[in-house]
């Protein structure tokens, strides 16, 4: 398989080279063994999708890719301006968002100020870059950010992989049931409508359903479309999504698991910033963006309590942002003075706990969903064929 990579070697200009390899990782290893720093890589393709994809969203910034490329170039010995200029000249990086960053740097602004002027860069990255300007260790700050994003992505991907099968099963099963009820059953009902004499009870049920759907089908379809539109609006509208998440946080089934997930993000973000040299009050304010809007008030209460002189464990307890395990570990961190590392340890503990809990839940939920869908489809099929069997028996 052929891969095309944008690479740079030493202080030379970037260039695009082709490499034959069996996988993406193997191609990266080959190029690194040859002394190249990889800026980007993609499988060679002439498909229309590859040519059209960059046109879909020109405003989006792949922050993780940008930080990883910048980190590699800085590790290779380039200065910050040289590294940014190199990224600016690469073939697959548009200049519309990187040019202002370079202009601000050349005008005398700090790198954190240049990034902060663009709202598409996350506050966590800007804060870590700002702290590195005091220690002159930008590479380590970028590495901390990448590590935070990798760990967060691992947890998110694990949750998605655990939940995707039950969701797909529910979606397919619901679609099959709707198809049977809205299309197949009314077709069967027409067969029995013209029959004279006494009909089996199952046939009467199908005839009634077909007549009801014929009389109120438009209203039913409008209600169904409205429900789908409402679900889409909740997912796409921030205000509605916040209200929906608030309702989920209030339900007994999902409350503890969702709260644990967001608290783990909160602890990891705060710990990463503390390790980067950010004061606790500022770290708490910046980590607030990692939480859903429904938990902003709790995060603000924790920050205000720390500013008012309470210890971190007391402040988190006052804001309702503390678990029993986190409380004990946080108290230990206050005694040792290494609160950042303790918060990262707390985040790892809760992420592992959440993964185990969801795996147990899905082991119960998957067969339950399969039984529900199977029973639903079975009932509809039996309802359709039972009158045929009864009529055949009557004829005999």
Q: What is the mean pLDDT of residues 249-272?
A: 78
The CATH number of residue 286's host domain is 1.20.81.30
Whether residues 63 and 113 share a domain: the answer is yes
Angle, helices 339-395/138-179, rounded to nearest 10 degrees:
10
Question: Cα–Cα distance between 343 and 351 in angstroms, integer?
Answer: 12
Whether residues 249 and 370 share a domain: the answer is yes
Domain boundary among 106, 121, 136: 121
- Asked if the model's pLDDT at residue 91 lies above 70, the reply is no
User: So what's the pLDDT on residue 168?
Assistant: 83
Q: Any idea how long the chain is?
A: 396
> Could you count the other beta carbons within 10 Å of the beta carbon of residue 324?
7
Whether residues 154 and 203 share a domain: the answer is yes
- Asked if the model's pLDDT at residue 283 lies above 70, the reply is yes
User: So what's the pLDDT on residue 15?
Assistant: 65
For residue 25, give the nearest of 35, 10, 38 by alpha carbon: 38
Q: Are 316 and 322 in contact (CB under 8 A)?
A: yes
Question: Cα–Cα distance between 377 and 180 in angstroms, integer?
Answer: 8
Whether residues 102 and 190 share a domain: the answer is no
User: So what's the pLDDT on residue 55?
Assistant: 36
Angle, helices 280-287/296-307, rounded to nearest 10 degrees:
170
Q: What is the mean pLDDT of residues 185-205?
A: 74
Whether residues 246 and 190 share a domain: the answer is yes
pLDDT tens track for 211-260: 888 888 888 889 988 888 888 877 777 666 666 666 665 566 567 777 88
Domain boundary among 75, 106, 121: 121
Lowest mean pLDDT among 131-145, 186-200, 274-288, 350-364: 186-200
User: Does any domain span residue 8?
Assistant: yes
Q: Are 129 and 138 in contact (CB under 8 A)?
A: yes
- Asked if the model's pLDDT at residue 58 lies above 80, the reply is no
- Asked if the model's pLDDT at residue 49 lies above 50, the reply is no
Q: What is the mean pLDDT of residues 29-39?
A: 72
User: So what's the pLDDT on residue 301?
Assistant: 92
For residue 210, give the nearest of 391, 393, 383 by alpha carbon: 383
User: Does any domain span residue 141?
Assistant: no
What residues contact residue 245 under an 8 Å CB cut-off, 6+ apart? 258, 292, 293, 294
User: Does any domain span residue 42?
Assistant: yes
Whether residues 272 and 363 share a domain: the answer is yes
Whether residues 218 and 360 share a domain: the answer is yes
Whether residues 212 and 330 share a domain: the answer is yes
Residues of 221-257 as b/e, b for ≥16 C-beta within 10 angstroms? eeeeeeeeeeeeebeeeeeebbebbeeebeeeeeeeb
User: Does any domain span residue 80?
Assistant: yes
Contacts 24+ apart (CB under 8 A), 297-302: 299/266
Question: Cα–Cα distance between 188 and 211 in angstroms, integer?
Answer: 12
User: So what's the pLDDT on residue 245?
Assistant: 60
Domain boundary among 86, 121, 156: 121
Give strand pairing partners of 112: none
Whether residues 273 and 381 share a domain: the answer is yes
User: Does any domain span residue 90?
Assistant: yes
Whether residues 109 and 154 share a domain: the answer is no
User: Does any domain span residue 386?
Assistant: yes
For residue 377, give the nearest of 213, 163, 188, 172 by alpha carbon: 172
Range of the domain at 161: 148-396
Q: Which residue has the higher pLDDT, 241 or 178?
A: 178
Q: What is the mean pLDDT of residues 298-311?
A: 90
Whether residues 171 and 85 share a domain: the answer is no
User: Does any domain span residue 134?
Assistant: no
Give the number of domains in the chain: 2
Whether residues 255 and 361 share a domain: the answer is yes
User: Does any domain span residue 136?
Assistant: no
pLDDT tens track for 104-121: 888 888 888 888 888 888
């Amino acid at each position: 398989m052929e891969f095309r990579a944008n690479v740079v070697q030493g202080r030379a200009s970037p260039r695009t080279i082709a490499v034959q390899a069996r996988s993406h990782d193997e191609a990266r290893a080959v190029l690194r063994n040859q002394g190249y720093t990889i800026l980007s890589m993609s499988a060679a393709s002439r498909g229309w999708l590859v040519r059209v994809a960059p046109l879909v969203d020109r405003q989006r910034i792949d922050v993780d890719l940008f930080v990883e490329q910048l980190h590699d170039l800085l590790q290779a010995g380039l200065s910050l301006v040289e590294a940014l200029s190199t990224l600016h000249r690469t073939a697959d990086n548009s200049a519309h968002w990187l040019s202002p960053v370079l202009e601000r740097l050349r005008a005398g602004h700090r790198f954190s100020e240049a990034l902060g002027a663009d709202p598409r860069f996350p506050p966590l990255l800007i804060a870590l870059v700002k702290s590195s300007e005091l220690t002159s260790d930008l590479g380590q700050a970028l590495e901390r950010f990448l590590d935070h994003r990798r760990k967060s992505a691992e947890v998110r991907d694990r949750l998605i992989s655990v939940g995707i099968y039950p969701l797909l099963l529910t979606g397919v099963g619901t679609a099959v049931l709707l198809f049977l009820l809205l299309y197949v059953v009314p077709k069967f009902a027409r067969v029995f409508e013209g029959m004279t004499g006494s009909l089996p009870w199952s046939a009467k049920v199908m005839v009634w359903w077909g007549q009801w759907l014929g009389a109120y089908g438009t209203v039913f379809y409008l209600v169904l479309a409205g429900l789908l539109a409402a679900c889409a609006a909740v997912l796409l509208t921030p205000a509605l999504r916040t209200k929906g998440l608030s309702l989920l946080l209030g339900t007994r089934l999902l409350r503890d698991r969702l709260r644990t997930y967001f608290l783990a993000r909160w602890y990891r973000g705060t710990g990463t910033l503390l390790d980067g040299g950010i004061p606790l009050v500022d770290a708490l304010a910046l980590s607030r963006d990692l939480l859903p809007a429904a938990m902003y008030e709790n995060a603000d209460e924790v920050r205000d309590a720390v500013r008012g002189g309470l210890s971190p464990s007391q402040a988190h307890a006052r804001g309702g942002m503390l678990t029993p395990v986190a409380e004990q570990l946080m108290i230990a961190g206050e005694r040792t003075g290494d609160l950042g590392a303790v918060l990262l340890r707390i985040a790892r503990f809760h992420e592992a706990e959440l993964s185990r809990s969801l795996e147990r839940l899905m082991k119960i939920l998957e067969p339950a969903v399969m039984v529900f869908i199977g029973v639903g489809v079975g009932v509809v099929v039996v309802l359709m064929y039972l009158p045929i069997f009864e009529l055949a028996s009557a004829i005999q």
